[in-house]
Structure 1
């Protein structure tokens, strides 16, 4: 049975049937239930092309990736987010449109996608402290959700984020409670909002315990294994090495562990390490007992929620900008212990 036949059976227009199945708020609840029951009875599954004809939508969501961020596409964090978002898209009959673009052409590509009607909305990745894409997308007029926040922008736009400041404040406090006073931070690129908030949480915990931060123990950069290895090697070979590391990524923490191993140091006994983002589909943090103590927030779940928020705003353009703040869970693993004497 196709859409037209289902509509004839219900004595409704194809547009009404399509809108009922896609959750449009203007459809009466009794009509929606009637349509959904008939769709189940006749095993009707609308395809994206038919839904697009009936609703005037492309049934696609845009993810625009500047070439300077192309490394993120092979990062397991990005992969988990896209997987979660795609699960929602498939369930709702949408496709994902991933578009690489030169940095200087990013605004032009957003406008072109809008003009051509290629997408119904956007998810924005990796916001900076001040991010011009937010004002651009407001001007373009298509719904969007930012994965993260831009601290220097007015907060009246749609976003989903993890409470980075709170997570790193709690992690730093745990290390201090274990007796550590020389704590190193190996962070992401600090013009990125998430990394800025993580540093703020780290510094807040030090200040609340009367500790003065040491700039020599704070590094930021692309969250690669190499960053972790080089930062840890440099700090451990210094005159006053850290007894603990707070690391923004499991990938980076693998580099820290390599530096420890080369120096004959045992993880959790000689040097403690806490990481973030350990709940990844293809990079697990051990089995029954985690290798690393971690601040855990599911990136895959963030992708699902971001997609759900965006599709809701597409269905109901009058709804207020949706916002969601996820909290990280502190998971104890084998990588932390009391500070060595």
Structure 2
């Protein structure tokens, strides 16, 4: 059945039927419901090109990925986010366009996307501190939603994020409650806003307990199994090694576990690990019981929320509604207990004095707290 047939069946004009199916406000709710019911009954699917012509939209959402982070295309976090967003796009008749561009051509890519008019909106990935893409997309007047946030940006914008600072403060606090005082952080790249916030949460927990942080226990980098193993080996080789690790991803935690086992130690008994679990579709933190104690937040659900927020913004714009207020969603992570945490081992010491390699006492240098969201 095509649009003409459906219109004849309902004894309505093709324009009215098209507007009813695409949510135009000038169509009454009764007519909209009657058209939608008939379309469902007769399995009518609007032609994509006809829908574009009827609505004046491209019916596509853009994702611009710089080539230096092209690994994001195979990153399980990115894949799950896209899966969640794609569910929403598909349900509303939208396509998705991925553009892979050289780092130094990113601004040009956004300007070309805007000039061509081949997308109705943009999802911004991997925000950095004072991210210039936010000002650029605002200038272009192109609807966008940021997956994450950008510290240092004063203007309003739409975003969906996890409360990373609070999550890592809770994770570190849990280890402290178990008696751990020498706690290491294996973080993501701290040029990325989420990782900077996680470090802030880690530091907040130490400030709250008046505990020192040993800089030798803190590192950042790509969140891979190899990175986790590499830095855990180095830290476990210190004169006073950490008794616990907080990591930014399940992959990093797996690397730490490998280094711990190579050293003849056992997680949960000799060394504790708390990680962040994005609740990915195929990289699971155990089955019936979690392997790792973790802060957990579904990145797929984040994709759904970001996509829904962007489509609502696009709908409001086409309906002529004012967009003065920006939307934001801050998702709280849950804390799940696994087999990777236990009390601090007495044999490794548990006093508050941290000894670096030269054996000299170290005192706390952190005196200020930072924002908890």
Length-normalised TM-score, structure 2: 0.88
Q: What secondary structure does 2:160 align onto?
A: strand
- Report the structure number with the largest CA radius of gyration: 2
State the distance in 1 between where 2:117 and 2:4 align.
Answer: 24
CA distance in 1, matches of 2:134, 2:156: 10
The residue that corresponds to 2:28 in the other structure is 28
How far does residue 63 in structure 1 lie from its aligned partner after superposition? Answer: 0.3
RMSD: 1.4
1:332 — aligned with what? Answer: 337
d(CA) in 1 for partners of 2:27, 2:134: 31
Q: Which runs of 5+ in 1 are unaligned?
A: none
Off by >4 Å, runs of 4+ in structure 1: none
1:233 aligned counterpart, secondary structure: helix
CA distance in 2, matches of 1:177, 1:331: 15
Q: Is the 8 A contact 1:278 1:284 kept in 2?
A: no
1:4 Cα deviation (Å)?
3.0
Counterpart Cα distance in 2 of 1:334 and 1:293: 7
Matches within 5 A, 1:253-272: 253-272=253-272
* Residue number in structure 2 paired with 1:95: 95
3-state SS, counterpart of residue 316 of structure 1: helix
d(CA) in 2 for partners of 1:24, 1:277: 41
How far 1:52 sits from its partner (Å)?
0.9
Q: Does the Cα contact within 8 Å between 1:24 and 1:316 map onto a contact in 2?
A: no
What is residue 146 of structure 1 aligned with on the other side? 146
The Cα shift of 1:140 comes to: 1.3
Distance 2:316 2:45 in 1: 22
Higher alpha-carbon deviation: 101-110 or 1-10: 1-10
| Correspondences of 1:241-320 after superposition (within 5 Å) | 241-317=241-317, 318=321, 319=323, 320=325
Q: Which runs of 5+ in 2 are unaligned?
A: 347-373
Could you tell me whether the CA contact under 8 Å between 1:64 and 1:100 is conserved in 2? yes
Displacement of 1:50 in angstroms is: 2.1
Shift of 1:25: 4.1
Q: Cα 1:285–1:141, aligned 2, differ >3 Å: closer, same or farther?
A: same
Deviation at 1:154, TM superposition (A): 1.9
Show the counterpart of 2:129.
Answer: 129
Match of 1:55 in 2: 55
| 2:169 aligned counterpart, secondary structure | helix
Q: Which moved more, 1:19-28 or 1:177-186?
A: 19-28
The secondary structure found in structure 2 opposite 1:112 is helix
CA distance in 1, matches of 2:247, 2:255: 10
Deviation at 1:8? 4.0
Q: Deviations over 1:95-144 (max 9, x none)?
A: 11111000111111111111112111110000001100001111111211
Give the Cα–Cα distance (whole angstroms) in 2 for the partners of residues 107 and 274 of structure 1. Answer: 38
Residues matched between the structures, number? 341
State the Cα distance separating 1:65 from its structure 2 match.
0.1
Instruction: Give the TM-score taking structure 1 as reference length.
Output: 0.96
